[in-house]
Amino acid sequence: MKTIEIKNAWQGESDCENCSIRSSALFAELNEEDFSKIHSPIDDLSFEAYAGIYQQGDKAGSLYTLRNGYIKILHINSDGSERIVRIVLPGNLFGMEALLGEAYEHSAYALTNVHLCRIPKNIISTLGEESPRLHRQIVKKWGEALLQSESWFSEINTGRIEVRLARFFLKLAKESGSFAIAPLFKREDMGLMMDVKCETISRALASMAEQGLISNITRLSVQIPNLELLRQFSKRGV
């Protein structure tokens, strides 16, 4: 695990009360009185793409909020096979199993360069008992994570691969002028997400480009000339 930058959030380096993603993050509903009860350091971390955040089976001592970038949550089965079970987006909470047990049930890896906050679980446990606001937010974030996982499996694991990719791009696309941009990850990661071979991903991308659904395919992104056209294509099912 290669850490680029580490700061202590409660030593004057970070300002959770004025965080740019606070409205969508764990501490969204907290007030000054709640923040005054936090005494342990919250680490403000940056990781390079492909770095490990934590490993399946590691001691679970913290939860995390993603500020920038994308993270994959990877599960290793008993036979050694791997499956990506969730993509973490900015504002999302992950590592929540730390509140239930002593070890992480999955591994977390950076798909891109990422910026995140590491929150000791004792902060959540202590403050959660005293603050109904934080308790509500934890329940909300947990529910969002479950819905994301269910949606992830249902939308990108059914139908032909081009349709799955269309749904994937629509989930992550950001408009930029007259077109949109969606991130593209390593073909191996894309294959693990959709349970297909990486060669299948490459062929599907080429096919979608020929149909004018995507363009300017690079190692890190694709351009979507017409979001509505891609949306209609994604509804074709099998």
pLDDT of residue 113: 95
Q: Is the pLDDT score of 1 beyond 70?
A: no
| Beta pairing partners, 83 | 75
37 and 122 fall within a common domain: yes
Left (φ > 0), alpha (ψ -120 to 50) or beta: where does 25 sit? beta
Rg (Cα) of the chain, in Å, rounded?
Answer: 19
10 Å CB burial of residue 31 (0-12, 13-18, 19+) is: exposed
Instruction: Write down the pTM of the prediction.
Output: 0.77
24 and 118 fall within a common domain: yes
Local structure of residue 44 (DSSP, 8 states): E
Cα 118 to chain centroid, rounded: 14
**Cβ neighbours around 230 below 10 Å, total:** 23
Q: What is the pLDDT of residues 114-125, one digit of tens each?
A: 999 898 888 777
Question: Domain boundary at 110, 129, 155, which?
Answer: 155
136 and 165 fall within a common domain: no
pLDDT of residue 52: 96
Cα distance between residue 93 and residue 63, in whole Å: 7
Residue 2: which pLDDT band, with cuts at 50, 70 and 90?
A: very low
Question: Domain boundary at 128, 155, 182, which?
Answer: 155
Question: Domain boundary at 129, 155, 181, which?
Answer: 155
Mean pLDDT across the stretch 101-124? 90
CB-hemisphere CA count at 13 Å for 138?
Answer: 21
- Which strand (E) or helix (H) includes residue 202? helix 198-210
Residue 154: which pLDDT band, with cuts at 50, 70 and 90?
A: confident
151 and 174 fall within a common domain: no
Cα distance between residue 77 and residue 87, in whole Å: 18
Q: Is the pLDDT score of 12 beyond 50?
A: no
197 and 166 fall within a common domain: yes
- Counting the structural domains of the chain, the total is 2
Residue 25: which pLDDT band, with cuts at 50, 70 and 90?
A: low
What CATH number corresponds to the domain at position 121?
A: 2.60.120.10
210 and 183 fall within a common domain: yes
77 and 144 fall within a common domain: yes
pLDDT of residue 206: 96
- Domain limits for position 59: 3-155
Q: What is the pLDDT of residues 37-52, one digit of tens each?
A: 555 577 889 999 999 9
128 and 201 fall within a common domain: no
What CATH number corresponds to the domain at position 213?
A: 1.10.10.10
